[in-house]
Chain A
């Protein structure tokens, strides 16, 4: 599959967690056996399921209370079909989704590799 349309969000699930990534940030989406690989920010992410595409989401910032107990960086939080989801920040990809072996290449918060 090629990059998805520019507008909206691609919703994916991995280990039971729902994630959203802006369509414009997805460079490639491929099937890899039972899983899917996304290329976001030059890094491959592995997910269990592609849930679908939604035209828009209301995105809330990550609260300081959540940041205190969750070290991952995220682009925000949203709700889809009564389920909370995490918006992926393409500059600070979630380690939980990064495919093994490339984790060391993840950029730091400033985009440096």
Chain B
């Protein structure tokens, strides 16, 4: 896993790409906690989102959850194959299970998010 990957407290991950874009997905912990995923709503390409704003939703048999953007910017790409292959989120949440790519307004915004060790510490403090 890339060392520079960052996490939001709401369990999305974001990874800066060499191209300057930022790839966004949801953590393995979140996928495991949700289980039985059946539906995902992706945003339209070109939409602008603010950090902390919902850009889509993911639904399990029991409940629906918002997907929150970890950074502000323009959504430039979505993983259109994912909603029909949600098992990918469980198998490979950090690569093939990516959800959207954002052109961040401010690349430094990623530094305000949790790094891997801070995220791991957050998970340890969660009830299981």
Do A and B pair up? The answer is no
